[in-house]
Amino acid sequence: MTLVLWLKSTLIVLLAKELTDPLYILPFKRQNIYREKRRMQKIVVLTGAGISAESGIPTFRGSDGLWEGHRIEEVATPEGFRSNPELVLDFYNQRRQKLLSSDVKPNAAHIALAVWEASLPPSDFLLITQNVDDLHVRAGSKNVVAMHGELLKARCLDTGSVFPWYMDMTLQTPHPEKADQLGRLRPHIVWFGEMPLEMEQIEEAIIDCDCFVSIGTSGKVYPAAGFVQMTPKECWRVEINLDNADNSGAFDDSFVGRATEQVPRFIEAWKQRFCS
């Protein structure tokens, strides 16, 4: 075989291999990931309402700015709770009942993230969620930080103690540890104007991560919308969303589509690229 023929045949083999590489065929904007094939050791995933929407959980607010027909100030602020606690408690009672209904369950995106986490050392993976549902935990995720609180928990207004909570809450609800105290509980939800939970842990993980993946977020709600700006220079920043978010320009690559389709696809490609 002549040198020219050998070079042509080698080029064809390499080209065929590249075209069948799962990462090659994905719609990357900038393929900076090809700079080196080192293992991505520290992974941080941020999820928003878009990942749970396919499980039947309504997204945070509609195009009219209302949340299930209510102004955000009425049902998602400390001032709203002080002004009309009955309305706020009833609002979250309805959300809790919906979450506990038989038709709400983890979808393929939740499950794919849990399987991905299980394949990695525990210290290498952190899942930060803006959602207040428990679908990540139900799917099997372990290292989860619910930065905006959890719908299936209650918080004492006097001590800040947190309790599992699966029933309705009213102004007549007795305290789980002090039955003679009524109406001293609130949903364990971070409302507008309150500090998100576990921010120190979140910041430490983000500034040291090799791969940052944002799934189903709007890029509108801070501080979460600014997390991508905190990542190290060499971090691989990936966005998975139905549409471009307000902060899409800060990401290296974007996967546009349903979370149930794009999340498993991205993870499988990641595994083949870095674990093969």
Rounded to 5°, angle at Cα 263 from 273 and 94: 155
Number of domains in the chain: 2
In terms of domains, do 227 and 96 share one?
no
pLDDT of the residue at 4? 39
* Selection from 127, 80, 116, 161 nearest residue 267 by Cα: 116
Q: Which of 132, 158, 189 is the last residue of a domain?
A: 189
Residue 124 shares a structural domain with residue 183: no
Q: Does residue 36 contact residue 210 with C-beta atoms inside 8 Å?
A: no
The question of whether 148 is a catalytic residue gets the answer yes
pLDDT tens readout for residues 242-261 = 888 888 889 999 999 999 99
Stretches where the chain sits below pLDDT 70 are: 1-40, 60-68, 276
**Domain stops at, among 139, 164, 189:** 189
Are 157 and 214 in a shared domain? no
Residues 168 and 206 in one domain: no
Residues 223 and 266 in one domain: yes
Q: Are residues 165 and 201 in the same domain?
A: no
Specify the CATH number for the domain of residue 52: 3.40.50.1220
Query: Which pLDDT score is estimated for 47?
Result: 97
CATH code of the domain containing 168: 3.30.1600.10
Q: Are residues 126 and 263 in the same domain?
A: yes
Q: Which domain holds residue 134?
A: 29-57+105-148+196-276
- The identity of residue 113, as a single letter, is L
The encoded tokens of residue 153 equal: 């928990």
Q: In terms of domains, do 218 and 272 share one? A: yes
| Shared domain check, 142 and 66 | no
In a domain, 262, yes or no: yes
- Considering the domain boundaries, does residue 18 fall inside one? no
Q: Given this model, what pLDDT does residue 13 score? A: 36
The per-residue pLDDT for 40 is: 63
Q: How many CB atoms lie within 10 A of CB 101?
A: 10
Q: Which two tokens stand for residue 28?
A: 């990357």
β pairing state of 43-47 and 211-215: parallel
**255: burial class by Cβ within 10 Å (0-12, 13-18, 19+)?**
buried
Task: Given the residues 110, 136, 148, 175, select the one marked as catalytic.
Answer: 148
pLDDT in the model for residue 63: 52
Helix-, strand-, coil-residue percentages of the chain, each rounded to 5: 40, 20, 45
Block residue for tokens 């930065």: 147
Give the strands of the sheet with 149-156, arranged side by side: 162-164, 149-156, 185-189
Give the 3-state secondary structure of residue 116: helix
Could you tell me how far CA 160 lies from the centroid of its own chain? 25
113 and 219 in one domain?
A: yes
Same domain (yes/no): 144, 261: yes
- Final residue before a domain boundary, out of 139, 159, 189: 189
Tell me whether residue 167 is in a domain.
yes
* This prediction's pTM: 0.85
Flag whether 96 is in a domain. Answer: yes
pLDDT of residue 25: 39
Q: What is the pLDDT of residue 272?
A: 82
Query: Tokens for 243?
Result: 């549409």
